[in-house]
């Protein structure tokens, strides 16, 4: 099988992995430096990461028993698959969507049931019903806002999928890596007896891709199963401390998200002047398809101008598409100037 790769090349403007263009606030970095001086490095970290899980839970109005944290939300998803997937089990995905959902399924020997989203990349409930009824997946993945399309699923559609998943005795995982960019969340559907987990990450809205921390919120019985599967002491002391301290700066996070949303509007307006097709985004990136030049050629021409975007041209149903992350205004101006030069 092919591995999962996001090509990195040395460029001035990196808009290819949906990172935050700004670092977390300097107060956070100072607090972390101070806290690290007190770590008992000769001891294992708190295996249950109770402090961190309590702090995360508080942000969502739940207790630590409903929080599972790991090294990036990818590890969260992998643990979910190790627990509920595996040989003779099935995971459902609706393409186009985040490639890691099917990739991690295959790595854990979980069969993949591939459904299609509609032509506008919104959920097609008839298709969801068909896939769930015929394949009876153990795990169903949704992603909202969806990567790489930016499409936000309608709350009533997510509720309908959850009902279908519940009826077949499966688990629904809604990947909300970009959740803070959307105005609604599947967190509202959580319940003690509801087979729903919602995953989030520090990598995007929290501006901490370098930390490697993600988590899910779900029912206690499900979190207990995940804890049986994950490696002991998987979250190191630094990660636990940094993840806890970061949450005290949620105001800065909210402001950053609001700034990026505003900047996204400016970028989309500039791109609308060019010969590209675009999809409305509820995240910190925009999917677009150049109309007159092949996507891969545009990707190369941008790279030649030291601007790196994500080449999605070979992904399911995304012929010729590229994805650009919202950067700083300066970075976005460089991108628009380069794209204009390439397309005109
Ligand atoms: C970026 C991203 C993740 C994040 O992965 P981490 O391992 O937390 O960095 C998860 N899901 C989606 C849809 C993403 O785009």
Kindly report the CATH number assigned to the domain that includes residue 280: 3.90.1150.10
Q: Is residue 75 part of a domain?
A: yes
Sheet containing 214-217, strands listed edge to edge, beginning at the edge strand earlier in sequence: 67-70, 214-217, 196-201, 171-175, 139-143, 90-95, 111-116
User: How far from chain centre, in Å, is Cα 72?
Assistant: 10
According to DSSP, the β-strands at 139-143 and 111-116 are: unpaired
Number of separate domains in the chain? 2
pLDDT tens figures, 84-124: 999 999 999 999 999 999 999 999 999 999 999 999 999 99
Residues 174 and 258 grouped into a single domain: no
Q: Is residue 5 part of a domain?
A: no
pLDDT tens figures, 41-90: 999 999 999 999 999 999 999 999 999 999 999 999 999 999 999 999 99
Q: Provide residues with CB under 6 Å of ligand 1.
A: 18, 72-74, 98, 143, 147, 175, 177, 201, 203-204, 209, 214
Instruction: Please give the average per-residue pLDDT across 161-177, as a whole number.
Output: 98
Residues 67 and 163 grouped into a single domain: yes
Atom of ligand 1 nearest to the CA of 98: 13
Residues 314 and 212 grouped into a single domain: no
CA of 325 to the centre of ligand 1 (A): 14
pLDDT tens figures, 250-304: 999 999 999 999 999 999 999 999 999 999 999 999 999 999 999 999 999 999 9
CA of 57 to the centre of ligand 1 (A): 20
CA distances from 200 to 3, 106, 120, 197 (A): 23, 22, 25, 10
Residues 228 and 283 grouped into a single domain: no
Residues 87 and 159 grouped into a single domain: yes
CA distances from 149 to 28, 30, 155 (A): 32, 36, 17
CA of 44 to the centre of ligand 1 (A): 27
Q: To the nearest whole number, what is the mean pLDDT of the chain?
A: 97
CA of 110 to the centre of ligand 1 (A): 20
CA of 177 to the centre of ligand 1 (A): 6
Boundary (domain end) residue, out of 211, 228, 249 = 249
Residues 114 and 171 grouped into a single domain: yes
pTM to 2 decimal places? 0.97
Q: Is residue 34 part of a domain?
A: no
CA distance 246 to 216: 17
Say if residue 5's pLDDT is above 90. Answer: no
The residue whose C-alpha atom lies closest to atom 11 belonging to ligand 1 is: 177
pLDDT at 235: 98
pLDDT at 163: 98
Say if residue 40's pLDDT is above 80. Answer: yes
pLDDT tens figures, 262-274: 999 999 999 999 9
CA distance 234 to 239: 10
CA distance 235 to 254: 26
Domain range spanning residue 270? Answer: 13-23+251-343
């Amino acid at each position: 099988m092919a591995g999962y790769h996001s090509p990195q090349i040395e460029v001035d403007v990196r808009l290819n992995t949906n990172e935050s263009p700004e670092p977390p606030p300097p107060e956070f970095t100072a607090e972390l430096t101070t806290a690290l001086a007190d770590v008992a490095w000769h001891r294992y970290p708190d295996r249950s990461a109770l402090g961190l899980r309590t702090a995360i839970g508080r942000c969502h109005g739940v207790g630590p028993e409903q929080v599972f944290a790991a090294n990036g939300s990818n590890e969260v998803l992998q643990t979910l698959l190790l627990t509920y997937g595996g040989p003779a089990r099935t995971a459902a995905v609706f393409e186009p969507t985040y490639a890691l959902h099917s990739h991690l399924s295959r790595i854990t020997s979980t069969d993949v049931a591939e459904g299609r989203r509609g032509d506008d990349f919104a959920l097609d409930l008839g298709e969801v019903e068909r896939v769930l009824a015929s394949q009876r997946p153990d795990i169903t993945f949704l992603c909202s806002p969806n990567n790489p399309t930016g499409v936000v699923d309608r709350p009533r559609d997510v509720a309908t999928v959850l009902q279908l998943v519940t009826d077949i005795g499966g688990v629904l995982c809604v990947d909300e890596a970009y959740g803070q960019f959307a105005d609604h969340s599947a967190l509202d559907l959580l319940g003690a007896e509801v087979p729903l987990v919602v995953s989030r990450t520090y990598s995007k809205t929290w501006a901490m891709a370098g930390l490697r921390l993600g988590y899910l919120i779900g029912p206690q019985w499900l979190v207990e199963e995940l804890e049986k599967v994950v490696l002991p002491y998987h979250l190191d002391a630094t990660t636990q401390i940094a993840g806890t301290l970061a949450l005290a700066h949620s105001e800065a996070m909210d402001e950053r998200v609001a700034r990026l949303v505003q900047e996204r509007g400016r970028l989309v307006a500039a791109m609308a002047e060019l010969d590209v097709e675009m999809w409305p985004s509820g995240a910190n990136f925009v999917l677009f398809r150049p109309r007159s030049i092949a996507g891969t050629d545009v990707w190369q021409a941008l790279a030649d101008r030291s601007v790196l975007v994500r080449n999605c041209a070979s992904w399911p149903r995304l012929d010729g598409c590229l994805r650009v992350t919202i950067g700083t205004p300066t970075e976005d101006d460089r991108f628009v100037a380069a794209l204009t030069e390439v397309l005109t």
